[in-house]
Chains A and B, each alone.
Chain A
């Protein structure tokens, strides 16, 4: 089903220049989307003086999305529209062309000016100046890639967003926040006890997660900017599976304080704990719908683990998944039309999507050890954990299942990934 086309070179190129991140990364792209837009990203004037060339970040972002085919500029280096000879780019098959220049103003700030040109109509599609601190070159590149992506596809780009995941190396667990391409890793928490289930607050300023540092599972909420955290839930047994409501005011969590694992709502400051699921089975992994009205969750009340849906105020639950195997870790799509989850059958875990209206299951990955999917904010990509070369890795798949990307961190097993705002 998935064509194995390895294009590791670009990943390695980026790797060599990202020593700032501290953790190396290599990236493989598998498969190709239909109707890829051919686009040429010309090296920016002044790029060579930066620690990281901006056009490489832009090109890497666009290529990894699976929606673009990069056209080699073959030595042509126009910086201004007046320097562009459109027939040259038409011959190469480029539909669009990005040119630009970058300058440092001397106060530690760089400014990149870029233009996106329509080669066929010979017009300018977009032009913008993006500035940032000179240690933020990658962020500038992601911003430009977002603008190009939005202009050419009509959807919002997600290259400036972040992800969180857990890295396990032997008994060492680290909670990590990184750019959506896996670079710029920052360690939020590192310890010799397990960490699970990071969850982004809707404003991207806090992470809820589960840590075993006191000997059992406790839910914490940590601010990423103020470097402070609170205990959200610490009752007897296990406290886990935090999920934010869309307004960020409350979280759904799973507690065992009354015996079995049940879903509770709690205010973001840890007050007002209220049970909302009522089964004698396991109810876990709650996830709010984008309008906040419903929760999807995993339950084995029917004998095997399946996905259910219930009003977020409590009430009757409806079973959503049927058929062979068991299902875990549901997450709503950003448009609320469906959900993605982990499907386990024939000894394999696969990332699977289901539409609420049709109830049709669509398997997106070939099958192996593919778990814990979460949507990018634009709904076009799904981040999940996978396994390759004997290690846990991060991976993305386009929501049509056509393009996969594997991200290899330097060492250890990457697990429990989640895409942030």
Chain B
């Protein structure tokens, strides 16, 4: 019984995490906090309630977008300095999203282009836009309809890493595919 409940809790967490960025999914913080708190309480009465909600999840969870270990869990592509072409290493990721979006015409994404802080703010806004447009082009070539993809650039204005060195810059030269 206990094993089952913990398994269900974990399954729920994984489903919840799947829509987040992969980097955040790696953060283990919420899991240990939630598991011990709910496990002792659900040992008796609330158990059937949890069961009713949770049991269908693994069955219906066939949407590959929600597979935390699948390629679609990767939603970011990275670039060298002042480059806006999707790199070979990231092409399978974009192509997988292209195929998924082609098969799910009701889904829409926004591609957000970003740049590191070198260059001018305006040039970087343009560079981020070109990165996002490049991802969009590849999505459309791979079977996505243009109307499913919106693009936006944040240039250097919304860095995820705030350091002034290559380890931060490499994280900020990035396009994110957001569902």
Instruction: Report B-chain residues with C-beta under 8 Å of the C-beta of A217.
Output: 125, 153, 155
CB distance from A264 to the nearest CB of B (A): 13
Considering the complex, which residues of chain A in the window 259-274 have a beta carbon less than 8 Å from any beta carbon of chain B? 259-261
Q: Does B6 contact A (CB under 8 A)?
A: no
* A215 and B178 alpha carbons, distance in the complex (Å): 14
Given A240-B125, A282-B127, answer yes or no on A329-B120 (Cβ-Cβ < 8 Å). Answer: yes
Q: Does B104 contact A (CB under 8 A)?
A: no
* A237 and B122 alpha carbons, distance in the complex (Å): 14
CB distance from B125 to the nearest CB of A (A): 5
Using a Cβ–Cβ cut-off of 8 Å, how many residues does chain B contribute to the interface with A?
21
CB distance from B2 to the nearest CB of A (A): 43
* A194 and B128 alpha carbons, distance in the complex (Å): 14
Q: Does A238 contact B (CB under 8 A)?
A: yes
Using a Cβ–Cβ cut-off of 8 Å, how many residues does chain A contribute to the interface with B?
35
CB distance from B75 to the nearest CB of A (A): 18
Q: Does A86 contact B (CB under 8 A)?
A: no
Q: Does B121 contact A (CB under 8 A)?
A: yes
Q: Which of B126, B129, B154 contacts A212, CB < 8 Å?
A: B154
* A106 and B157 alpha carbons, distance in the complex (Å): 50
- Tell whether, in the assembled complex, residue B120 and residue A238 are in contact, meaning their CB atoms are under 8 Å apart: no
- Tell whether, in the assembled complex, residue A344 and residue B119 are in contact, meaning their CB atoms are under 8 Å apart: yes
- Tell whether, in the assembled complex, residue A342 and residue B120 are in contact, meaning their CB atoms are under 8 Å apart: yes
- Tell whether, in the assembled complex, residue A237 and residue B152 are in contact, meaning their CB atoms are under 8 Å apart: yes
Q: Which of B120, B125, B128, B152 contacts A371, CB < 8 Å?
A: B120
* A259 and B151 alpha carbons, distance in the complex (Å): 10
* A212 and B121 alpha carbons, distance in the complex (Å): 13
Q: Does B158 contact A (CB under 8 A)?
A: yes
Look across to chain B and name the residue whose beta carbon is closest to the beta carbon of A330: B120
Instruction: Report B-chain residues with C-beta under 8 Å of the C-beta of A210.
Output: 125
Given A237-B151, A237-B152, A304-B82, answer yes or no on A197-B121 (Cβ-Cβ < 8 Å). Answer: yes
Q: Does B179 contact A (CB under 8 A)?
A: no
CB distance from A235 to the nearest CB of B (A): 12
- Tell whether, in the assembled complex, residue A261 and residue B130 are in contact, meaning their CB atoms are under 8 Å apart: yes
Instruction: Report A-chain residues with C-beta under 8 Å of the C-beta of B116.
Output: none
Q: Does B91 contact A (CB under 8 A)?
A: no
Considering the complex, which residues of chain A in the window 230-264 have a beta carbon less than 8 Å from any beta carbon of chain B? 236-238, 240-241, 254, 256, 259-261
Instruction: Report A-chain residues with C-beta under 8 Å of the C-beta of B154.
Output: 194, 212
* A217 and B154 alpha carbons, distance in the complex (Å): 8
Q: Does A146 contact B (CB under 8 A)?
A: no
Please, what's the 1-or-0 string for A296-336, where 1 marks a CB less than 8 Å from any CB in chain B? 00101000110000000000000000000010110000000
- Tell whether, in the assembled complex, residue B120 and residue A372 are in contact, meaning their CB atoms are under 8 Å apart: yes
Instruction: Report A-chain residues with C-beta under 8 Å of the C-beta of B158.
Output: 194
Q: How many A-B residue pairs have CB under 8 A?
A: 90
- Tell whether, in the assembled complex, residue A284 and residue B153 are in contact, meaning their CB atoms are under 8 Å apart: no
- Tell whether, in the assembled complex, residue B121 and residue A196 are in contact, meaning their CB atoms are under 8 Å apart: yes
Q: Does A416 contact B (CB under 8 A)?
A: yes
Instruction: Report B-chain residues with C-beta under 8 Å of the C-beta of A241.
Output: 122, 125
Look across to chain A and name the residue whose beta carbon is closest to the beta carbon of B150: A236
Instruction: Report B-chain residues with C-beta under 8 Å of the C-beta of A256.
Output: 126, 129, 133, 153
- Tell whether, in the assembled complex, residue B122 and residue A240 are in contact, meaning their CB atoms are under 8 Å apart: yes
* A351 and B82 alpha carbons, distance in the complex (Å): 20
Look across to chain A and name the residue whose beta carbon is closest to the beta carbon of B157: A194
- Tell whether, in the assembled complex, residue A216 and residue B122 are in contact, meaning their CB atoms are under 8 Å apart: no
Instruction: Report A-chain residues with C-beta under 8 Å of the C-beta of B126.
Output: 238, 240, 254, 256, 260-261, 282, 284
Instruction: Report B-chain residues with C-beta under 8 Å of the C-beta of A344.
Output: 118-119
* A187 and B152 alpha carbons, distance in the complex (Å): 27
Look across to chain A and name the residue whose beta carbon is closest to the beta carbon of B120: A328
Look across to chain A and name the residue whose beta carbon is closest to the beta carbon of B126: A261
Instruction: Report B-chain residues with C-beta under 8 Å of the C-beta of A236.
Output: 151
* A328 and B151 alpha carbons, distance in the complex (Å): 24
- Tell whether, in the assembled complex, residue B119 and residue A416 are in contact, meaning their CB atoms are under 8 Å apart: no
Instruction: Report B-chain residues with C-beta under 8 Å of the C-beta of A179.
Output: none
- Tell whether, in the assembled complex, residue B125 and residue A238 are in contact, meaning their CB atoms are under 8 Å apart: yes
- Tell whether, in the assembled complex, residue A215 and residue B130 are in contact, meaning their CB atoms are under 8 Å apart: no
Given A256-B129, A284-B126, answer yes or no on A238-B119 (Cβ-Cβ < 8 Å). Answer: no
Considering the complex, which residues of chain A in the window 71-130 have a beta carbon less than 8 Å from any beta carbon of chain B? none
Look across to chain A and name the residue whose beta carbon is closest to the beta carbon of B110: A215
Please, what's the 1-or-0 string for B97-136, where 1 marks a CB less than 8 Å from any CB in chain A? 0000000000000000000001111110111111001000
Can you identify 13 A-B contacts, CB atoms within 8 angstroms? A216-B152, A216-B153, A237-B133, A237-B153, A238-B128, A254-B126, A261-B125, A282-B123, A282-B130, A285-B122, A305-B123, A326-B119, A342-B120
Interface positions of B (Cβ within 8 A of A): 82, 118-123, 125-130, 133, 151-155, 157-158
Q: A194-B155, A261-B126, A372-B120 are in contact. List 12 more A-B contacts (CB 8 A).
A: A212-B157, A216-B153, A238-B125, A240-B126, A256-B126, A260-B129, A260-B130, A282-B126, A284-B123, A285-B120, A328-B119, A329-B120
